[in-house]
Amino acid sequence: AHEKRRAARIDWPGAALFCTATTVTLGGLALGSATGWASAPFLLCTAVGIGCYGLFAWRESTAPNPLLSLGTLRSRRFSGITLVVAVASFTFTNAVAYLPVFFQGAYGASAGASGAYLMFLTLPVLVAPLIAARLTARGTPAHTIFTWSIGLLVVGLVLAGATASPGLVWMTLPMVAVGIGFGLQAGLVDGEALAHVPPEEAGMGAGWINTVRLGSEAIAVSLFGSLFASFAGDADDASRGGFAAITIGSTLCAAVLGVASVLLMRRPGPAAPAEEPRAADHVA
């Protein structure tokens, strides 16, 4: 019983460092639009946040019961699949958060109309997981589906930004592409990622996935919300300029994460050889 209690201990110093790093970083992003992106408060918060994240990584590498074990990231495919979640945060999540603001500010749409337009983005999420399931059942590798998902998310967001000026009608197809891209990975990413970690580390793997998911969403929404708020003046100019900044910034972040994800997924990790006997047995 004593050993069980020891194993169940929470890494409170690690949790405090992680919460402090995230809080300070998000606070700095909020200050960026108010005090300036070169101001002392923003730079100080950024430096402190990065420092706390560094201390958190050091703590987790030395703690007997780490909050998030860095050893779980040894599997390249697990790390690559986890980055797919971050790509979705910088594309789909940002689009869901700020497209209604853009519709209302740039085109004068009502709240109800903005919600209706947003369905071009959200309805495909209900259908795309079914498509992904059919593709998986037919033998399509998961990393191929994730690559398609990343491509649709990035290209769709670029086209949404490029077609924003002509009018809402031109944005519908890019929005559908972003929704399909998000839906393709939504039903696969958790299970596929956990398949590349040892069974005894499944809980830690799930913790990493959810931490990356929620953390990247918080950072993406805060960062580009601050950029959006930086555009002052006429509502139309602010909405168009803010949406352009969000589109460009989100695309760059998502593209970098997407390339890293694809490269990691296509490189064999330590857990990959263990899957081959199971696959051979299945064929037999």
In this prediction, residue 276 carries a pLDDT of 45
Q: Let me know whether 107 and 25 are in one domain.
A: no
Amino acid 229: pLDDT: 72
Q: CATH number for the domain including 261? A: 1.20.1250.20
230: left (phi over 0), alpha (psi -120 to 50) or beta: alpha
Is residue 46 located within the same domain as residue 77? no
Q: What is the model's pLDDT at position 8?
A: 57
Q: What is the dihedral of CA 79, 81, 85, 90, to 10 degrees?
A: 80
Asked if 188 and 262 sit in the same domain, the reply is yes
End residue of a domain, out of 17, 49, 67: 67
Identify whether 1 is part of a domain: no
Task: Judge if 213 and 240 occupy the same domain.
Answer: yes
The answer to whether 255 touches 150, Cβ cutoff 8 Å, is no
> What are 278's two structure tokens?
């199971």
What distance in Å separates the CA atoms of residue 228 and residue 226, rounded to the nearest whole number?
Answer: 5
Q: Is residue 157 part of a domain?
A: yes
Domain end (from 44, 67, 90): 67
Residues 184 and 129 in one domain: yes
- Residue 210 · residue 68 · CB < 8 Å: no
Q: Which domain holds residue 60?
A: 8-67
Residue 277 has a pLDDT of 44
Would you state the pLDDT for residue 284? Answer: 38
Q: Count up the domains in the chain and report the number.
A: 2
Which of 88, 131, 115 shows the shortest CA–CA distance to 254? Answer: 88
Which pLDDT score, from 0 to 100, does residue 279 have?
Answer: 41
Same domain? For 101 and 235 the reply is yes
Residue 76 near residue 267 (C-beta atoms within 8 A): yes
CA distance 12 to 221: 27
Same domain, 49 and 163: no
H or E segment to which residue 96 belongs: helix 94-107
Say if 132 falls within a structural domain: yes
**CA 115, CA 103: separation in Å to the nearest integer?**
9
Q: Which two tokens stand for residue 105?
A: 């500010």
- Shortest CA distance to 174 belongs to which of 164, 185, 184? 164
Q: Which ranges of the chain have pLDDT less than 50?
A: 1-5, 271-284
* Same domain as 40, residue 149: no
